[in-house]
């Protein structure tokens, strides 16, 4: 989903080109890596509850699989575009490479709005998506996962359809499955926790105690909720969150100077992460315009909703106090805003590093499915922490050594790994 003239794929390619120049990448590697290897675009006809047939548009983009099967979520969104899916598939390649897991990058989507679809209609979209792609995805080709507005239930419907078509049990086809149906403990909180593992390490490096910090968060969905929980456990205080209001078709920010209460907010939040503004008012929250999350006088900003949120314009509203931008969402910061952050010396923890906890835990889920043996929660979280912490320090050390902006350092590591895998296979 892209807004206005913003094209996330242009942004993903611009980020890539900058680092390809820095790495003096050969022309064949550049050509190969700045575009997806394969793209699928198709129709999904669904008989709706009222008896009429409606046709939905679906996508799957496989950016690169030189290091292992493609991996990436499926998004349901009314403004989904193939360019967004392209960009996200590319970022998945870099994400898997930067945390050094043996997977490539893919992403999928369906143009639809689950707010207005019954469970049966959503099930038919899931099954239709798999029917169109059953021979092009799978445990050794391309492994989907949940993403914006898709859940464990959607994954299980997709798995069921895949297994019907192929006549066997293939729990490694898809991740983010429910517990007891091949899901891994820890997957639900993995992305949000991973965000805060990297934030914790960044603060440590700056000699700052999380207890002395406060933050503002955009979004109150899966990533934001768990990121806030762990950050609060470390002693930090989130004073503002924002979310999309489906009725008003706009976003609002909710401010509480003495810190938001995740459990209380969950009581007034729908399953899409939308906070009910009528009910939250009685709970002592100030209700502000959606953009206000970025204007708060805080040490840390955690964008955890959408791409294209910290732009050349909005970055000007950011408080001078902000020391860290820790990107839970994919693509929240545009290159123009990056320039400003870099000039101001704001420490950026780039999306494909900060939010890699989800795919890392998905990888653990695949490993456990292959073994048919499942780890305890503590073991999953410890392995996740180890992976995220190691990846953060590899990027941070390179950034310090070569005086690079963190995003560029993360790209250098990831692109280097993927380009090498392509060259070793004789693709470039
Ligand atoms: P989600 O659907 O659970 O939550 C999205 C949240 O963003 C909701 O609270 C929604 O109200 C809010 N939102 C939507 N539009 C908004 C707007 N204009 N202003 C303010 N808030 C708005 O999604 P999620 O799983 O938490 O994902 C959030 C971001 O993180 C996305 O960019 C996604 O691609 C990325 N991400 C998610 C995962 C994962 O495991 N869930 C992994 C990696 C990256």
3-state secondary structure 310-333: ECCCHHHHCCCCCCEEECCCCCCE
pLDDT at position 374, please?
96
Number of domains the chain is built from: 2
- Is residue 76 located within the same domain as residue 195? no
Take atom 43 of ligand 1 and give the residue whose Cα is closest: 355
Query: pLDDT exceeding 90 applies to what percent of the chain?
Result: 95
- Is residue 264 located within the same domain as residue 149? no
pLDDT band at residue 305, thresholds of 50, 70 and 90? very high
End-to-end CA distance of the chain: 32
Helix, strand, or coil here: 418? helix
The answer to whether residues 143 and 362 touch, using CB atoms and an 8 Å cutoff, is yes
Give the atom of ligand 1 at the shortest distance from the alpha carbon of 191.
Answer: 40
Q: Is residue 379 part of a domain?
A: no
Q: How far is the CA of 407 from the centre of ligand 1 (A)?
A: 20
Domain boundary among 110, 142, 171: 171
Half-sphere CA count of 201, side-chain side, radius 13 A:
22
The answer to whether residues 223 and 328 touch, using CB atoms and an 8 Å cutoff, is yes
Q: Is residue 20 part of a domain?
A: no
* Beta partners for residue 324, in sequence order: 300, 347
If one residue of 304, 314, 354, 362 were mutated to test the ligand 1 pocket, choosing by the most ligand atoms within 8 A of its CB, it would be 304
Domain boundary among 171, 199, 216: 171
- Is residue 60 located within the same domain as residue 194? no
Q: How far is the CA of 6 from the centre of ligand 1 (A)?
A: 18
- Is residue 136 located within the same domain as residue 215? no
Give the atom of ligand 1 at the shortest distance from the alpha carbon of 330.
Answer: 32
Q: How far is the CA of 166 from the centre of ligand 1 (A)?
A: 33
Mean pLDDT, rounded, for 281-297? 96
pLDDT band at residue 3, thresholds of 50, 70 and 90? very low
| CATH of residue 340 | 3.40.50.720
Q: Is residue 354 part of a domain?
A: no
| CATH of residue 148 | 3.40.50.10860
If one residue of 4, 77, 105, 147 were mutated to test the ligand 1 pocket, choosing by the most ligand atoms within 8 A of its CB, it would be 147
- Is residue 258 located within the same domain as residue 341? yes
- Is residue 162 located within the same domain as residue 245? no
If one residue of 109, 146, 148, 177 were mutated to test the ligand 1 pocket, choosing by the most ligand atoms within 8 A of its CB, it would be 148
Q: How many whole angstroms separate alpha carbon 395 and alpha carbon 1? A: 29
Strand 237-245, strand 250-255: pairing: antiparallel
142's enclosing H/E stretch is strand 142-146
Take atom 3 of ligand 1 and give the residue whose Cα is closest: 221
Give the atom of ligand 1 at the shortest distance from the alpha carbon of 187.
Answer: 40
Residue 312 has pLDDT above 60, yes or no: yes
Instruction: Kindly report the average pLDDT of the chain as a whole number.
Output: 96
Q: Is residue 282 part of a domain?
A: yes
> Which residues span the domain enclosing 133?
36-171
Take atom 40 of ligand 1 and give the residue whose Cα is closest: 358
pLDDT at position 271, please?
87
- Is residue 58 located within the same domain as residue 204? no
- Is residue 267 located within the same domain as residue 334? yes
Q: How far is the CA of 424 from the centre of ligand 1 (A)?
A: 37
Q: What is the pLDDT of residues 37-83, one digit of tens each?
A: 999 999 999 999 999 999 999 999 999 999 999 999 999 999 999 99
pLDDT at position 148, please?
87
Q: How far is the CA of 222 from the centre of ligand 1 (A)?
A: 7
Query: pLDDT exceeding 70 applies to what percent of the chain?
Result: 99
Catalytic residues: 107
Q: How far is the CA of 146 from the centre of ligand 1 (A)?
A: 12
pLDDT at position 6, please?
79
Strand order through the sheet with 324-326: 286-289, 250-255, 237-245, 214-218, 300-303, 324-326, 347-349
The answer to whether residues 328 and 355 touch, using CB atoms and an 8 Å cutoff, is yes
Q: What is the pLDDT of residues 217-263, one digit of tens each?
A: 999 999 999 999 999 999 999 999 999 999 999 999 999 999 999 99
pLDDT band at residue 4, thresholds of 50, 70 and 90? low
Residue ranges around ligand 1 (CB below 6 Å):
147-149, 191, 218-224, 242-244, 251, 272-274, 290, 304-306, 328-330, 355, 358
Q: What is the pLDDT of residues 324-383, one digit of tens each?
A: 999 999 899 999 999 999 999 999 999 999 999 999 999 999 999 989 999 999 999 999
If one residue of 85, 192, 219 were mutated to test the ligand 1 pocket, choosing by the most ligand atoms within 8 A of its CB, it would be 219
Q: How far is the CA of 329 from the centre of ligand 1 (A)?
A: 6
Give the atom of ligand 1 at the shortest distance from the alpha carbon of 332.
Answer: 32
């Amino acid at each position: 989903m892209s807004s206005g003239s913003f094209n996330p794929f242009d942004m993903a390619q611009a980020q890539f080109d900058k680092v390809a120049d820095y790495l003096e990448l050969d022309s064949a590697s550049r050509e190969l890596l700045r575009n997806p290897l394969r793209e699928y675009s198709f129709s999904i006809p669904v008989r709706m509850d009222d008896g009429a047939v409606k046709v939905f548009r679906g996508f799957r983009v496989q950016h690169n699989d030189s290091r292992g099967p493609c991996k990436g979520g499926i998004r349901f969104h009314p403004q989904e575009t193939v360019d967004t899916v392209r960009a996200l598939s590319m970022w998945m390649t870099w994400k898997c490479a930067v945390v050094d897991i043996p997977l490539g990058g893919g992403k999928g989507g369906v143009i639809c709005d689950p707010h207005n679809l019954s469970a049966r209609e959503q099930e038919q979209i899931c099954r239709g998506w798999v029917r169109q792609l059953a021979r092009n995805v799978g445990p050794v080709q391309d492994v989907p996962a949940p993403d914006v507005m898709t859940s464990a239930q959607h994954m299980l419907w997709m798995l069921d359809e895949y297994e019907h078509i192929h006549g066997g049990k293939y729990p490694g086809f898809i991740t983010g499955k429910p517990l007891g149906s091949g899901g891994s403990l820890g997957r639900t909180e993995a992305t949000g926790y991973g965000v805060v593992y990297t934030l914790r390490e960044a603060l440590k490096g700056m000699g700052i105690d999380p207890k002395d910090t406060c933050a503002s968060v955009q979004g109150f969905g899966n990533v934001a909720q768990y990121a806030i929980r762990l950050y609060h456990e470390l002693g930090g205080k989130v004073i503002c969150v924002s979310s999309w209001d489906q009725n008003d078709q706009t976003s609002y920010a909710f401010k509480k100077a003495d810190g938001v209460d995740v459990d209380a907010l969950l009581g007034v939040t729908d399953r899409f992460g939308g906070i009910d503004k009528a009910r939250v008012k009685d709970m002592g929250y100030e209700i502000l315009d959606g953009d206000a999350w970025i204007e708060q006088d805080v040490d840390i900003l955690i964008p955890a909703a959408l791409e294209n949120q910290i732009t050349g314009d909005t970055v000007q509203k950011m408080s001078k106090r902000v020391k860290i931008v820790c990107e839970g969402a994919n693509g929240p910061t545009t290159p123009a805003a990056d320039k400003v952050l870099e000039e101001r010396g704001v420490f950026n923890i780039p999306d494909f590093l900060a939010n890699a906890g989800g795919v890392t835990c998905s990888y653990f889920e695949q490993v456990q499915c292959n073994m048919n043996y499942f780890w305890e929660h503590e073991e999953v979280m410890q392995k996740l922490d180890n992976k995220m912490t190691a990846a953060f320090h590899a990027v941070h050390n390179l950034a310090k050594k070569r005086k690079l902006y963190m995003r560029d350092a993360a790209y250098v590591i990831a692109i280097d790994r993927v380009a090498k895998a392509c060259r070793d296979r004789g693709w470039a």
